[in-house]
Amino acid sequence: MVGVIIKVTGSWHEVRLDDGTIISCRITGKLRLEDIKTTNPVGVGDHVTIEYEGDDQSRGIISEVLPRRNYIVRQSPRRKHDLHLLAANVDQAILVTTLIQPMLKMGFIDRFLLMTEPHNIPVVIILNKCDLFTDEEWEIFGGLKIMYEEIGYSVISCSSVSGKGLEELKSILKDKTSMVAGQSGVGKSTLINTLQPGIGLKTDEISDYSGKGQHTTTFAEMFPLDIGGFIIDTPGIKMLSYNNLEPLDVAHNFREFFELSSSCRFPNCLHLEEPGCAVKKAVEEGTASPLRYEHYLQIMSEVQDQNYWERHKGL
Ligand SMILES: Nc1nc2c(ncn2[C@@H]2O[C@H](COP(=O)(O)OP(=O)(O)OP(=O)(O)O)[C@@H](O)[C@H]2O)c(=O)[nH]1
Ligand SMILES: [Mg+2]
Ligand SMILES: [Zn+2]
């Protein structure tokens, strides 16, 4: 039988079959995985082959993971060679952000896009809790919308309190498998509860934005939507580090810079100090975003520092 993993808690994997039946499955023995090594060998969204465990039709064993169409991994903040599988086989990622409560971390959106870009996973950026926006926040929203839509990401404003943007969001989610992600406290679970009443996801009742970072959602879980499609709620992301990457990985996954790079003088231009760099020229002329470039430089310097220390280790 073939099913899809909808939730993983410890060594139990909930697998949904085509007819909607949910079976708790374990992994015994070794699974053959073609893709990458991750701390969790399978994750939500993985298609798996299962067998019943004896006569008990509510328990199963995962015998095979089917090839993935795509996947989203993040680097462990503590151990740079540990990759954690966030979700597999998604049609799109919904990045939920807010401008206040909690404040949007500088560069967070661009760091997130570096996770989805290697597989060209479409991203919709939500600026949530827009019921709290004053003129100032609406102005920032307008700026971000222009900036990201220019490079092909949709940007919408939403609020579970006022209902704004929810119809548009529904039309985006309809008939697709979407991973919802973002910082803790931005309202991901509340949004899903509002879109699909009755789901009853735990949300943070006491608003606490002190930055202590308690996470209300602690594991990823996939739910069917009445409008068609599936939605994956995920735990809040505290920070995204990328020092496991090589400089060219970063250069290739800022999509508009990659596009410009064919006009750079040097084929492997990292858009730093190289002469004849088309990216730097575009930033200076205002046709590429200086903010994106600033975040690019930040990530690039983290990656290069890391490579420097690796080379000089043991000297
Ligand atoms: N003003 C306002 N508050 C909201 C909105 N949506 C959610 N909240 C509040 O924001 C807080 C956090 O909501 P959650 O849905 O738990 O946030 P989350 O993103 O799922 O957080 P984690 O599970 O920790 O990642 C709660 O106190 C919600 O009531 C909104 O649209 N407007
Ligand atoms: Mg949550
Ligand atoms: Zn260049």
- pLDDT digits 0-9 by tens, 68-125: 999 999 987 777 778 899 999 999 999 999 999 999 988 999 999 999 999 999 999 9
Span from the CA of 256 to the centroid of ligand 3 (angstroms): 11
Residue 313, classed as helix, strand or coil, is: coil
Span from the CA of 199 to the centroid of ligand 2 (angstroms): 13
pTM of the model: 0.93
Look at residue 207 in the predicted model and tell me its pLDDT: 53
Residue 102: cis peptide before it, omega within 30 degrees of 0: yes
Span from the CA of 199 to the centroid of ligand 1 (angstroms): 15
Question: What mean pLDDT is reported for the chain?
Answer: 91
Beta-carbon contacts of residue 109 (< 8 Å; ≥ 6 apart): 95, 97, 125, 144, 148
Q: Is the pLDDT of residue 263 over 60?
A: yes
Q: Nearest ligand to the C-alpha of residue 288?
A: 3
CB 184 within 8 A of CB 154: no
Instruction: Specify the amino acid at residue 232.
Output: I
Look at residue 202 in the predicted model and tell me its pLDDT: 85
Which of 20-24, 28-32, 51-55, 56-60 has the weakest average pLDDT?
Answer: 28-32
Which of 54-63, 140-149, 167-176 has the weakest average pLDDT?
Answer: 54-63
Q: Nearest ligand to the C-alpha of residue 277?
A: 3
User: Looking at ligand 1, which atom is closest to the CA of residue 184?
Assistant: 25
Cα dihedral angle (291, 293, 295, 298), rounded to 10 degrees?
A: -140
User: Looking at ligand 1, which atom is closest to the CA of residue 192?
Assistant: 15
Residue 29 φ/ψ, nearest 5 degrees: 75, -170
Q: How far is CA 232 from CA 135, 151, 177, 299, in A?
A: 32, 25, 8, 28
pLDDT tens, position by position, 169-205:
999 999 999 999 999 999 999 999 999 988 888 887 6
Q: Exposed, middle or buried: residue 102 (CB in 10 Å: 0-12, 13-18, 19+)?
A: buried
